[in-house]
Amino acid sequence: MTKQKTKLTYETALQELQTIVAQLQEEAVSMDDLSEKVNRATELLNFCREKLRETEDKIEGLFSQE
């Protein structure tokens, strides 16, 4: 079975991350899936951080042109 790849956006990454956190808080993740969920959460965090950095750089670029 292959997963369809959809373009990841900040909003979808954040939503998926919030879902994972909720599952962890509710202890709805089995020990077998825990490592996978933590790895995915790390990927999502890194993606979100990079998007925020890119946005910050663009905004700073706009203000430095004045």
Q: The whole model's pTM is what?
A: 0.78
9-66 pLDDT tens trace: 999 999 999 999 999 999 988 988 999 999 999 999 999 999 999 999 999 988 886 5
* Statement: residue 2 has pLDDT above 50: no
Which pLDDT score, from 0 to 100, does residue 6 have? 73
What is the token pair recorded at 42? Answer: 């790390």
- Which class for 14: exposed (0-12), middle (13-18), buried (19 or more C-beta within 10 A)? middle
Contacts of 11 (CB under 8 A, 6+ apart): none
Which pLDDT score, from 0 to 100, does residue 5 have? 61
Spatial contact of 20 and 41, defined as CB atoms under 8 Å apart: yes
